[in-house]
Chain A
Amino acid sequence: MAQRKRATTEPSVDIDSVLAGLKQRLERDGAVKRSEIKPKALQEKLILRLVEHGFEVGKTCVRRPLQAQLADALSHAALIPVTGLASHVAGASSTELKAAIAQAVGAGKVRRALRGTAEVLCGPEVRVLDGEQLRRVGERAQAFAKLVEKVTRKGGLVLLADDVDEALADVQRVVPKRVENKREDETFAALLSAVDSTRDGRSGLSFVPAIVGRLAPRIPTDQVIQMLVSAAARELLELRPEGGIGRLSEAELSVCPPGPHGTKLSWARRLGGGAT
């Protein structure tokens, strides 16, 4: 009998420590399923406390506010394809995600840009051309295109190089000027974008030779390696030593940054608001 009585006694729970653990998980993972919030008897109470601390309640989970997750994902001039956003924001349905994007776009915190055929999202610090600027660029580009067409059609005529320079500079003048370090930020954005696009969905890791290959036509290999190391030092990325036994070819090894103790850093993982 005494043993049965012990079984029905509810174990005392330190709510603050449970709450601290949950907050830690939320900061790390972005969301925690409701079913994982235990003990069950205290679930509602814990959720209320989490809401008081600024977390949001979704249909099946509690999460960091979507706007904050979006801002983190788009920090450091990152560019994220709209189709791949779900892997950067935890605990949101596609409807909730669409609404969050619309709200952020409305508030000017997020821009939707077209790159080739793909729509990408970017933060406010990324240089973009909006409606009026686009109209002016279009007008000047069309004027120049007409001039080229006229010269071609008439035959036997040429254009002065200075005039072409002037016409292109006229178009260029509409494009917002880079502030200091903008070039570097863009390169970093391209790097992070390459890391995201080469990420293995199962392991969350990107293969360094694949990142280098993705950027190779535009950015020299040495520069990519330097940028990877620099991004790791800024804790935007985690560079990981190769764990394979003779798996990499000479060509692959040559584009991996050297790691400690004679290793090669062959894998990268996004940190912070990026990939898991």
Chain B
Amino acid sequence: MSRAFLEAVHADPWSDDFVDLASLNASASDAIEDAIVKLRTIARTEPRALRSTSLLVLGPPGAGKTHLFSRLRRRLGPRAVFVHIRPLVHAELTPRFVLTEIVQQLAHSTQGLPQISALVGSLLAHLDGAGTGFPTTFLEAYEVLPEAARQERLDSALERSLEIWPDLDESYLRRLLQAPFAKGPTRRALLAWLSGRDCDVAQLERIGATASLTEDVAPLAIKTLATIAAPGAPIVLVFDQLENLVEADRAGSRLLTYAHLTSELVDTVRGLTLVHMALDTEWERGIEPALNASQRSRLIMRRETLNLPQAKQREELLRVWCERISEPAAPFPWPLNEDRLGRLRSQPGLTPRMLLIECRRALDGEPDEPPGEVTPKPENDESDEEGLQSEWEGCLNRSRRTLTEAAAQRATLDAARLADGLLAAGRFLVDATLGVEKRGGARLALKRGTKTTNIAILSESHPKSLGAALAKLTTLAKETPTVAIRERAHELPPTWKDTLARRRAFLSAGNARWLNMDSDDCAQLLALDELLQAARSGDVTNASGSPLTEDVVVAWVTDRLNVPSWKVLDELLNAAEPEVDVDEPVSLPPATSERSLIMLRRLRIASVDRLVREVARVEPSATRASVLAELEAAGKRVGWFGRAIVCVKDVP
């Protein structure tokens, strides 16, 4: 009940149903809104004078930084496009990562309207000289047109856009304009292409593209998006939890990469509103001193420090929260009493989150703890354990949701996010270190003793780009041990013959190893990354809502999650063992083995899944990859029905 209450009233950035007290931090939300409105006005009246703007929002943990995002999203509705970005802490922050985040979140809805529809609808309205407040009306007018007529009008809109902004990317803009009208797989393919992800052959064919966007096109794509969005629904990029950049790298290189990237965005992109959010002290003492004057002038065009609620606002907040309690036993101030309410009105230093926790404690029937009478905390507090377990499960659920969404889009996980997760898990390795080291297609390196193993995360969807990546890794594997990681859900289909041949070449190149990562392994890595970042930002609480320090969270992870034993890390550590036989690929059995074929002869026809299960029952070391390799080696002795069903052809 109580935890459900916390989650019900606490702001999720994408929730449409949350409690908001408009007077609280009105200055910060007004400043951001004013910046957006100003930018939109300039975009309409003097498009060539348009520039980007950047604001800084600071506050202690629980003061409502993330809440501002939700508030502005609700207040501005389709008049702005909001993008919430948690920075990569360990892996490198690139324009492509930012582009992917923007386009992924364009698919999110605000007030029932996908942000991409708001963006394109308001652009079309602006180009027609109409008001941009009702993008849906314009989209509907386009949607009822026959396809040829609609395409003609979109082409005309494209031409007018290029007349106003001649330096935009035409092909990017053309596909962006088509996205709101596309359905099903075509829409998925368009969004995948627009986001800069690697598209598979079918997706490219579907949208008439010859190749996916390359890394060097990402800045121009962001520029195109921001510029055309500015007259109707300007893009607001909110970088949250920036304090995580401080500790991750004492040398400050991640911080400087972030500052460099965002300064570049301010300089080269027109029409963006950047909002940087961080803990106040961490920014003042850890982040800002690391920036040079030029970066400071670009990042901090305006600074807003969030205020804490005053007595009246506190009472008002408590009142609206209490009104959300289903079946209250008495009118407000229940579940508080007058004394407790009085204390909460006057006690210094209470943030909105602390008030919420106090409200929840009262709801749970916990006695009031006047200031200075804090109950001593027992060792091995069960409340901490319960809270951390719950936080961990929450992170896992969110990660699984991300994986499900990616699966629905038939997209691989973002390699940078996955690398961040792996690096977060690397903190818990005892006798090995995992770090960033770009080399010949690999992006990470695992060091164990004197041995270094390169790690590549292969998230490519197109056989050619995957083949190219494998070719680079083959060269690398001839020199040093190399592990290629790929999601098992995106295992190479048997029809990718050339790519499979390249994988074989890679595996026979020397110290090479192929690692299929299960969905749950991916979910664990993403969840761990999220949990550790939340801990650093002071957002992890125990069961009674008290914040837990990062040290407590790290100790719990070490004690309870046993990260080094996670399958993916275990296999990586095995790969880094010095005794590994360099001549023999580890993951795949010799292609001459016919155990899969023997099993298939017994089954005659089976799904690949069942065949893998049956083989694994007899030979526990068998994996899906090894079974597929054997089937592939069997050549014409097996027949395929699509990618999932296989039969034996040489039955006597």
Q: Mark A248-276, 1 if CB is under 8 A from B, else 0.
A: 00000000011111110111010100000
- Determine the residue in chain A with the shortest Cβ distance to B279: A243
Report the stretch among B53-61, B466-474, B494-502 that lies at the interface.
B53-61
B130 touches A241 (CB 8 A): no
Whether A205 sits at the interface, judged by CB under 8 Å, is yes
- A242-B281 contact, Cβ under 8 Å, with A25-B30, A233-B348, A247-B286: yes
- Determine the residue in chain B with the shortest Cβ distance to A234: B346
- A262-B247 contact, Cβ under 8 Å, with A3-B130, A245-B550, A257-B348: no
Residues in chain A near residue B357, CB distance under 8 A = 261
Q: Mark B289-320, 1 if CB is under 8 A from A, else 0.
A: 00000000000000101011011000000000
Whether A244 sits at the interface, judged by CB under 8 Å, is yes
Whether A7 sits at the interface, judged by CB under 8 Å, is yes
Whether A29 sits at the interface, judged by CB under 8 Å, is yes
Residues in chain A near residue B131, CB distance under 8 A = 6-7, 11
- A4-B308 contact, Cβ under 8 Å, with A244-B279, A259-B349: no
Q: Mark B17-35, 1 if CB is under 8 A from A, else 0.
A: 0000001001100100010
Q: Within the assembled complex, what's the spacing in Å between the Cα atoms of A241 and B349?
A: 6
B281 touches A258 (CB 8 A): no
Residues in chain B near residue A3, CB distance under 8 A = 125, 128-130, 138, 141
How near does chain A come to B290, taking the closest CB pair, in angstroms? Answer: 14
Whether A53 sits at the interface, judged by CB under 8 Å, is no
Which one of A11, A247, A257, A261 has the highest number of Cβ atoms from chain B below 10 Å of its Cβ? A261
Whether B351 sits at the interface, judged by CB under 8 Å, is yes
List which B82-137 residues lie within 8 A (CB) of chain A.
Answer: 125, 128-131, 133
Whether B433 sits at the interface, judged by CB under 8 Å, is no
- A7-B308 contact, Cβ under 8 Å, with A240-B60, A243-B60, A261-B546: no
Whether B460 sits at the interface, judged by CB under 8 Å, is no
Whether B529 sits at the interface, judged by CB under 8 Å, is no
Residues in chain A near residue B308, CB distance under 8 A = 238, 240
B372 touches A258 (CB 8 A): yes
Whether A224 sits at the interface, judged by CB under 8 Å, is no
List which B345-398 residues lie within 8 A (CB) of chain A.
Answer: 346-351, 354, 357, 371-372, 374
How many contacts A-B (CB < 8 Å)? 111
Residues in chain B near residue A257, CB distance under 8 A = 348
B59 touches A243 (CB 8 A): yes
Residues in chain B near residue A247, CB distance under 8 A = 281-282, 285-286
List which B2-44 residues lie within 8 A (CB) of chain A.
Answer: 23, 26-27, 30, 34
Residues in chain B near residue A24, CB distance under 8 A = 23, 26
Q: Within the assembled complex, what's the spacing in Å between the Cα atoms of A242 and B128?
A: 52
- A239-B129 contact, Cβ under 8 Å, with A245-B550, A261-B357: no
B305 touches A204 (CB 8 A): yes
Whether A19 sits at the interface, judged by CB under 8 Å, is no
Whether A232 sits at the interface, judged by CB under 8 Å, is yes
Whether B487 sits at the interface, judged by CB under 8 Å, is no
Whether B538 sits at the interface, judged by CB under 8 Å, is yes
- A244-B281 contact, Cβ under 8 Å, with A239-B348, A257-B348: yes
- Interface size of A by CB at 8 A reads 41
B243 touches A245 (CB 8 A): yes
Residues in chain B near residue A36, CB distance under 8 A = 34
Residue of A203, A229, A232, A235 near B303 (CB, 8 A) is A203
- A6-B286 contact, Cβ under 8 Å, with A243-B60, A257-B348: no
Which one of B60, B128, B351, B550 has the highest number of Cβ atoms from chain A below 10 Å of its Cβ? B60
List which B127-160 residues lie within 8 A (CB) of chain A.
Answer: 128-131, 133, 138, 141
B279 touches A245 (CB 8 A): yes
B349 touches A265 (CB 8 A): yes
Residues in chain A near residue B254, CB distance under 8 A = none
Whether A202 sits at the interface, judged by CB under 8 Å, is yes
Whether A28 sits at the interface, judged by CB under 8 Å, is yes
- Determine the residue in chain B with the shortest Cβ distance to A263: B349
Residue of A228, A229, A244, A271 near B282 (CB, 8 A) is A244
Whether B284 sits at the interface, judged by CB under 8 Å, is yes
Residue of B23, B130, B284, B538 near A6 (CB, 8 A) is B130
Q: Within the assembled complex, what's the spacing in Å between the Cα atoms of A243 and B63?
A: 10
How near does chain B come to A270, taking the closest CB pair, in angstroms? Answer: 11
Residues in chain B near residue A202, CB distance under 8 A = 303
Residues in chain A near residue B374, CB distance under 8 A = 262
A229 touches B284 (CB 8 A): no
Q: Mark A155-171, 1 if CB is under 8 A from B, else 0.
A: 00000000000000000
Q: Within the assembled complex, what's the spacing in Å between the Cα atoms of A229 and B371?
A: 11
Residues in chain A near residue B307, CB distance under 8 A = 238, 269
Q: Within the assembled complex, what's the spacing in Å between the Cα atoms of A240 and B308?
A: 7
Residues in chain B near residue A11, CB distance under 8 A = 131, 133
Residues in chain A near residue B282, CB distance under 8 A = 243-245, 247
- Determine the residue in chain A with the shortest Cβ distance to B549: A245
Residue of A204, A232, A235, A243 near B281 (CB, 8 A) is A243
Q: Within the assembled complex, what's the spacing in Å between the Cα atoms of A266 and B23?
A: 25
Q: Within the assembled complex, what's the spacing in Å between the Cα atoms of A3 and B247?
A: 54
- A203-B60 contact, Cβ under 8 Å, with A240-B349, A260-B347: no
- Determine the residue in chain B with the shortest Cβ distance to A229: B348
A203 touches B284 (CB 8 A): yes
Whether B632 sits at the interface, judged by CB under 8 Å, is no
Residue of B141, B280, B303, B536 near A267 (CB, 8 A) is B280
Q: Within the assembled complex, what's the spacing in Å between the Cα atoms of A247 and B59?
A: 15
Whether B547 sits at the interface, judged by CB under 8 Å, is yes
Residues in chain B near residue A259, CB distance under 8 A = 348-349
How near does chain A come to B552, taking the closest CB pair, in angstroms? Answer: 12
How near does chain B come to A255, taking the closest CB pair, in angstroms? Answer: 15
A235 touches B310 (CB 8 A): yes
A262 touches B546 (CB 8 A): yes
B61 touches A243 (CB 8 A): yes
Residues in chain B near residue A28, CB distance under 8 A = 26-27
How near does chain A come to B62, taking the closest CB pair, in angstroms? Answer: 8
A243 touches B310 (CB 8 A): no
List which A126-176 residues lie within 8 A (CB) of chain B.
Answer: none
A239 touches B243 (CB 8 A): no
Residues in chain B near residue A244, CB distance under 8 A = 279-282, 285-286
List which A178-235 residues lie within 8 A (CB) of chain B.
Answer: 200, 202-205, 228-229, 232-233, 235
**A–B pairs, 15, beta carbons within 8 Å:** A3-B129, A4-B130, A24-B26, A25-B26, A203-B305, A235-B311, A238-B310, A241-B349, A243-B61, A243-B280, A244-B279, A245-B282, A257-B348, A258-B372, A269-B307
Binding site for A on B (CB under 8 A): 23, 26-27, 30, 34, 58-61, 125, 128-131, 133, 138, 141, 243, 246-247, 279-282, 284-286, 303, 305, 307-308, 310-311, 346-351, 354, 357, 371-372, 374, 536, 538, 546-547, 550
Binding site for B on A (CB under 8 A): 3-4, 6-7, 11, 24-25, 28-29, 36, 200, 202-205, 228-229, 232-233, 235, 238-245, 247, 257-263, 265-267, 269, 271
Given contacts A28-B27, A259-B349, A261-B354, 15 further A-B contacts (CB under 8 A): A7-B131, A200-B284, A205-B305, A235-B310, A240-B280, A240-B308, A241-B60, A241-B351, A245-B246, A245-B282, A247-B286, A258-B372, A261-B547, A262-B547, A269-B307
